[in-house]
Amino acid sequence: MSKPQSILIVDDTAENLTVLRDILAHEGYRVRPVLQGALALKSAAADPPDLILLDIMMPGMDGYETCERLKADEKTRDIPVLFISALDGTESKVHGFEVGALDYIIKPFRAGEVLARVRTHLALQEARQRLVAQNVELRQAASLREDVDRMLRHDLRGSLAGVIGFSELIIDELGPENESAEHARVIAGAGYAMLSMIHSSFDLMKMERGVYEAKAEIFDLVEVVRQVVSEHGLTAEQKSLRFRYTFAETSDEDALVRGERLLCHSLFHNLVKNAIEASPPGRSVEFRFGLKGECTEISIRNAGVVPEGIRGRFFDKFVTEGKTDGTGFGTYSARLMAETQQGSVRLDCSELGHTTIFVALPHPTPAESAQFRTARSQAQSDHVRRFSSIELPAADVLIADDDPASRAYLKRILPTPPLRLSFATNGNEALARLCENSLAVAFIDLEMPGMNGVELVQAFRAWQRARAPGTASRPPTPVLIGISGHHDPVTRERCREAGFDRLLTKPVAKRKLYDELKQALSPGSAVVHLDPAIRDLIPDFVASQNALLKELEGFVAMSDGGRLRSLAHRLQGSFAMYGFETASRLSTAIEAAGKSEDFRRARILIDDLRAHLRRLEIRFA
Amino acid sequence: MPAPKRILIIDDDPSITKLLKIKLEARGGIVTAETTVPYQAAALAKEFLPDLIVCDIDLGETDGGEVAQKISADSRTGSIPIIFLSSMITPDDMSQRSGGRRLISKKLPFAEIIELIIQEIPA
């Protein structure tokens, strides 16, 4: 047996102590008898026993007080205390339990009862301690697993960004008709499929618990579905399947939704895979896009039949039939992903010999749709021009990323000249380059080993402040653009606080990168010329406007469109009168967002306005 | 040297009152008083006895029309001309008058706003 358990007995009567000690020692316990409450406290604190037997009526400190003090001391609070007393009234017992005792033995006691109770409470105490220890272990294991998950997810995402980005670049360069471009498309497709797996393996648990935060963006589902279909090209070819797209009630031949693009990619990846597998050879799989109430609805129809037995449970977990490699996870996760985006899925088997799955996802407001379509046609016409011919000014650009694939990707797609690129593989190198003060733009990976992106930018901003104390706004360059595998609000807020100007999420689309660069490098956009007569007013003015921006954010958080609008109106007026034209324009846009109660847009605009003010260089002329 | 012209500025946005004060006084021969608290405006007008009052329309808890009425109703300040300067006024609105009062849009270039105010100072 291991070390004998120790019991502290406290009683002012020496005879009682002797009797108790004999009973307990006979059973192999290590017994420490004490005659006073105060001594018991000292003894317990010096060498905590496994259990305490405590008399109540003692001169000086009585048993109740002794117990209270034991419970108040961190070192002794967890030791089980059993009262042993001649007081057998209910009140005495209740009070005993109130001050923290676990049990109450009445004098005169019988040896068997004392031993039985002591044994029980020692066993309980042991079990409790085991549970606590296990809990700690479990928590450590869980946190370790989450760390590994996060790293794996980030690293995978980073590498996949390279795979997808380079493949798309090859497709771009070769042109869509080229055979090698077709191969590159397969590679890109595999990359997207792996992204889907990351989603299903890591994010699904979050979705199940309802804590996954979907990134809301406006995009065209048709593009997503076409991409997914191209990923299944080989299987479809083997089965001689055809794909048909039809559109209802919309002449735009698109299906705009508000959701998370990559999540939709995974969602349709699963459903299209099922449809292809279920479809008999030589038939067609049809996609029909339309509107239904507040939602954009897409149906996937194939000539397969879902066995009657599983129709009612089609979207439940682990339901599968007739497939040897099925996990029963695909349709379940599709449903979960749809619901995470405020959408839904349903199965329709009413048509003989066919199966149709309907997916509904929220569609954007008419204004958002119009804006999206305008931006798209603009981007398409931009795309016609080759990237190298896009007009960018000569500028020094730093790329700070520890992942060679990410660096290579940026190096490949950023045109040199006119840009001059330099690279850093860790935070310290990057900081040194930033402090040389010749950079126009820096792309900074958030998750570098050692000094990470956030710490780097904090350090650099501190350096800037130390060099130019008392300036109202910080210098417009370099523009600091963060690149991260995460897009959650916490990350965004951390970046903003650290002093990033912008944050991009991996994988970064080429077009997005160009837009950012163009905006960051467009001359004059971050310089404002003001009347020298009002020079003294400016520091106060900028500070008070920033305070008002904080208020604006509050109104967004409260979804208070009325006050948002009226405060934005005021900002618009004062910015205009002081000569801050861009800021005034942005305020007008915030006012409009307040009017239409579009708080998401308002938040984005407020962020833009803040970033603009931060970057702004004020000149007096 | 003639006595300086006195202008009272009423706007609930302190950044605007400060800006107008600096730019108007920079012209020389002008002193201004300003308040961002609308219900103090009438009392301040009686005390300061300006030659011209520039008043915003959207004053938060009240509107410029009410403030102007109160000032005009008092025999000591009733004859002082009042201009409304507001971003609720569009440049197109400026040809009109409100209760006989001149309207100026805050959306005009700032230098123009100052010119228009100066023009309204009685000789």
User: Chain A contacts of B110, Cβ < 8 Å?
Assistant: 531, 576-579
The percent of residues in chain B predicted with pLDDT above 90, rounded, is 59
CB-CB: which of B18, B23, B87 is closest to A573?
B87
Residues of chain A with C-beta less than 8 angstroms from the C-beta of B113: 577
Residue A561 has which token pair? 């469109």
Q: Does residue A207 carry a pLDDT above 80? A: yes
Residue closest to A275 by CA, chosen among A358, A175, A336: A358
How many whole angstroms separate alpha carbon B50 and alpha carbon B45? Answer: 7
For A530, nearest residue in chain B (alpha carbons): B110
Q: CB atoms < 10 A from the CB of A479, how many?
A: 24
B113 and A CB contact within 8 Å: yes
Three-state DSSP state, A478: coil
Distance CA B47, CA B35 (A): 13
* pLDDT higher than 50, residue B28: yes
Q: How distant is the Cα of A563 from the closest Cα of chain B, in angstroms?
A: 11
**pLDDT-based confidence at residue A470 (cuts at 50, 70, 90):** low
Closest-CA residue of chain B to A542: B15
The C-alpha atoms of residue A447 and residue A406 are separated, in whole angstroms, by 12
Q: What angle do CA A393, A398, A401 make, to 5 degrees?
A: 140
- Taking an 8 Å cut-off on Cβ atoms, the answer to whether A534 and B19 are in contact is yes
pLDDT band at A244 (very low <50, low <70, confident <90, very high): confident
Q: How far is B10 from chain A (nearest CA, A)?
A: 14
Distances (CA, A) of A55 to A33, A61, A85, A117, A125: 12, 11, 5, 15, 21
Specify whether the CB–CB gap between A185 and A168 falls below 8 A.
Answer: no
Mean pLDDT of chain A: 82
Q: Which of B13, B16, B26 sits opposite A533 (nearest CB)?
A: B26
Task: Mark yes or no for CB contact A544/B15 under 8 Å.
Answer: yes
Ranked by mean pLDDT, which of A17-26, A266-275, A509-518 comes out on top? A17-26
Task: Please give the residue that has the higher pLDDT: either A121 or A197.
Answer: A121
**What pLDDT, on the 0 to 100 scale, is given for residue A2?**
63
CA distances from A608 to A227, A291, A549, A589, A603 (A): 32, 32, 11, 11, 9
Inform me whether the C-beta atom of residue B15 falls under 8 Å from chain A C-beta atoms: yes
Cβ contact (<8 Å) for A533 and B19? no
Provide the shortest C-alpha distance from residue A577 to chain B (in Å).
Answer: 6
Minimal Cβ distance to A579: which of B16, B58, B110: B110
pLDDT score for A99: 92
For residue A365, which of A605, A600, A609 has the smallest C-alpha distance?
A600
Closest chain B C-alpha to A533 CA, distance in angstroms: 7
Question: What's the rounded Cα separation, in Å, for the pair A173 and A287?
Answer: 30
Residue pLDDT, tens place only, A307-357:
777 776 777 765 555 544 444 567 888 888 899 899 999 988 888 888 899
What pLDDT does B85 receive? 92
> What are the tens digits of pLDDT across the range A140-178?
887 777 777 776 666 777 778 788 888 877 877 776 667
Residue A231 reports pLDDT greater than 90? no
What pLDDT does residue A139 have? 84
CB contact set of A63 (below 8 Å; sequence gap of 6+) = A10, A37, A54, A55, A56, A57, A83, A85, A96
Query: Across-strand partners of A217?
Result: A259
Say which residue the tokens 């404002």 belong to.
A528
Average pLDDT (A453-479) is: 75
Q: Do B113 and A577 touch (CB under 8 A)?
A: yes
Reply yes or no on whether the pLDDT at A472 is more than 60: no
DSSP secondary structure letter of residue B63: B
Nearest by CB to A533, from B13, B14, B22: name it. B22
Rounded-to-integer distance, Cα A421 and Cα B108, Å: 44
Note whether B19 contacts A577, CB cutoff 8 Å.
yes
Per-residue model confidence (pLDDT) at position A390: 43
Chain B closest-CA separation from residue A574 CA (Å): 6
CB neighbour class for A506 (10 Å; exposed up to 12, middle 13-18, buried from 19): buried
Average pLDDT (A199-205) is 71
C-alpha to C-alpha distance for A153 and A206, rounded to whole angstroms: 14
Interface residue of B11, B12, B13, B15 to substitute, partner A, most A CBs within 10 Å: B15
What residue has token string 């950023």?
A414
- Which residues are CB-neighbours of A57 under 8 A, at least 6 positions away? A12, A63, A85, A86, A87
The pLDDT > 90 percentage for chain A reads: 24
Q: What's residue A328's pLDDT?
A: 57
Give yes or no for A575 touching B (CB within 8 A): no
Is residue A620 less than 8 Å (CB to CB) from chain B? no
Tens digits of residue pLDDT in B69-97: 999 999 999 999 999 998 888 888 888 88
Residues of chain A in contact with residue B107, where contact means CB-CB under 8 angstroms, are 576
Give the residue with greater pLDDT, A510 vs B89.
B89
- Please give the pLDDT value at position A384: 40
Closest to B4 (Cα-Cα) out of B36, B23, B33, B28? B28
Which residues in chain B (42-81) have CB-CB distances under 8 A to chain A?
A: 58
Q: Averaged over B10-39, what is the pLDDT?
A: 91
pLDDT of residue B21: 94
A407 to each of A422, A480, A514, how far by Cα in Å? 10, 16, 16
Query: What is the secondary structure of A582-618 as a DSSP string?
Result: HHHHHHHHHHHHHHTT-HHHHHHHHHHHHHHHHHPEE
Contacts of A534 in chain B (CB under 8 A): 19, 22-23
Q: How far apart are CA A418 and CA A441, in angstroms?
A: 13
User: Å from B75 to nearest chain A CA?
Assistant: 33
- Cβ-nearest to A537 among B18, B58, B113: B18
Query: A608: pLDDT confidence band, cut at 50, 70 and 90?
Result: confident
Interface mutation target, options A531, A542, A563, A577, chain B, most CBs of B under 10 Å: A577
For chains A and B, count residue pairs whose Cβ atoms are closer than 8 Å: 45
Question: How far off is chain A from B18, nearest CA to CA, in Å?
Answer: 8
Q: What was the pLDDT predicted at B55?
A: 94
DSSP, residue by residue, A36-99:
SHHHHHHHHHHS--SEEEE-S--SSS-HHHHHHHHHHSTTTTTS-EEEEES--SHHHHHHHHHT
Q: How confident is the model at residue A469 (pLDDT cuts 50, 70, 90)?
A: low
Check residues A245 and A66 and name the one with the higher pLDDT.
A66
Smallest Cα distance from B74 to chain A, Å: 30
Tens of pLDDT, residues A380-429: 555 444 333 345 666 788 999 887 777 777 777 777 767 788 888 888 88
A471 contacts chain B (CB < 8 A)? no
Question: Which residues in chain B are contacts of A577 at CB distance < 8 A?
Answer: 16, 19, 106, 110, 113
How close B12 gets to chain A, by Cα (Å)?
10
Q: Determine the distance in angstroms separating the CA of B16 from the nearest CA of chain A, rounded to an integer.
A: 6
Tell me how far apart the alpha carbons of residues A36 and A12 are, in angstroms, rounded to a whole number.
Answer: 6
Residue A544 to residue B19, Cβ atoms within 8 A: no
Q: Is residue B90 within 8 angstroms of chain A, CB to CB?
A: no
ipTM of this model? 0.86
- Would the pLDDT of A218 be above 70? yes
Residue A380: phi, psi to the nearest 5? Answer: -65, -40
pLDDT tens digits, one per residue of A493-505: 888 888 888 888 7
SS (H, E, C) A425-475: CCHHHHHHHHHCCCCCEEEEECCCCCCCHHHHHHHHHHHHHHHCCCCCCCC
Please tell me the predicted confidence (pLDDT) of residue A391.
53
Residue A40 has pLDDT above 50, yes or no: yes
pLDDT (0 to 100) of residue A613:
83
pLDDT digits (tens, 9 = 90+) for A62-73: 999 999 999 999
- Among A537, A570, A581, A591, pick the best mutation site for testing chain B contact (most B Cβ within 10 A): A570
pLDDT band at A603 (very low <50, low <70, confident <90, very high): confident
Tell whether A545 lies on the interface with B, counting CB pairs under 8 A. Answer: yes
* β-pair type (A242-247, A284-292): parallel
| Chain B nearest-CA residue for A567 | B60
Lowest mean pLDDT among A91-95, A225-229, A441-445, A588-592: A225-229
Q: Is A566 on the interface with B (CB under 8 A)?
A: yes
Confidence of residue A524 (pLDDT cuts 50, 70, 90): very low
Q: Does A546 contact B at CB distance below 8 Å? A: no
Q: Phi and psi at residue A256, in whole multiples of 5°?
A: -80, 140
**CB-based contact, A578 to chain B, within 8 Å:** yes
Looking at CA atoms only, how far is residue B106 from chain A in angstroms?
Answer: 7
- Does A547 lie at the interface with B, CB-CB under 8 angstroms? no
Q: Which residues of A touch B23 (CB under 8 A)?
A: 531, 533-534
Structure-block tokens of residue A140: 């450590």
